[in-house]
Amino acid sequence: MEPAEVEAGGGIAAARSSPAAVQATNDDAAASKLSCVTKGYMKDDYVHHFVRRTTKRAPIINRGYYARWSVLRKLMLQFLNAGSGSDDHKRKQILSLGAGFDTTFFQLQDEGLAPYLYVELDFQEVTSKKAAIINHYNDMKEKLGPDASISIEKGEVTSTNYKLFSADIRDIPKLDAVIHMAEMDPSLPTFIIAECVLIYLDPASTDAIVSWASEKFSSAIFFLYEQIHPDDAFGEQMIRNLERAVAWDMLKIYNDFIDGGERRRIELLELFDEFEEWHMMQEHYCVAYGINDPEGIFDDFGFKE
């Protein structure tokens, strides 16, 4: 899911009351990612399958999307590589809440970094479209292995290492049932992703989801990317429910966490003169993560001052 564009009579309040308004933003997000890929900001060999018409985004949008992609990827790789063995990623799992048209699993598969299990959840209108696209394109379908099963009608994809299911994550009993159906192991280290998802929910639903995740998975990292300030209630909820939690705004992440060489590379890709707007925009987005780590395998995970 993505932030809805704020228009008269619309915006987040409208998105909260209309799941269709949230689902419709998947097309926009995929178009933004493809714009970045086309300009050379990042590599993604599959996002073009989800975009009907290529759209050129403004440099500030491209840079912002790159920063978002980069911080998630860097933290995800930290998670996958945590531990003492070279194949530690093979005994970990990833759960993406409101996954939309994300293609991370397929990229990780190409790189030999896919976890033991990668599970994606979203509204059925979204998962049915995604299942149809995966079924249509052999370069995606073949990544699932010979035993994969795809139901476009149900919006489900099941394979040994990848599962796609429909779910309204506000319904905690249903969410729990879907996790069981996906054969997730609550004892395995789990990376939970919520990108522009919780902002659409009422506070009670947000609290319930974070509490559920904390109780369900004994060893877990909850990654949150939202259009909020680091000191907002989301961060406070994480601190209450998880052993340790950290939140940085995206301007600090861009300057202090994203690799300096990568920053210099992407800053040469397009003419850029929107510095004041860039600073304002990035200060209103943040990444927060909360950690349950009883075994101490994530001691080196996260942002470093």
Closest CA to 49 of 69, 31, 65, 36: 31
Complete DSSP assignment for 107-169: HHHHTT---SEEEEEE-HHHHHHHHHHHHH-HHHHGGG-TT-EEETTTTEEE-SSEEEEE--T
- Between CA 55 and CA 211 the distance in angstroms is 39
Tell whether residue 262 is among the known ligand binding residues.
no
Tell whether residue 168 is among the known ligand binding residues.
yes
Q: Where are the alpha helices (DSSP H) in the chain?
A: 12-17, 19-23, 25-39, 59-81, 104-110, 124-136, 138-141, 172-181, 203-216, 233-241, 250-256, 260-266, 275-283
Tell whether residue 195 is among the known ligand binding residues.
yes
Rg (CA), the chain: 18
- Between CA 81 and CA 113 the distance in angstroms is 9
Cα 5–chain centre separation: 19
Tell whether residue 52 is among the known ligand binding residues.
no
Per DSSP, what are the bridge partners of residue 166?
122
DSSP 92: -
Tell whether residue 68 is among the known ligand binding residues.
yes
Binding-site members for S-adenosyl-L-methionine are 68, 98, 168-169, 195
Binding-site members are 68, 98, 168-169, 195
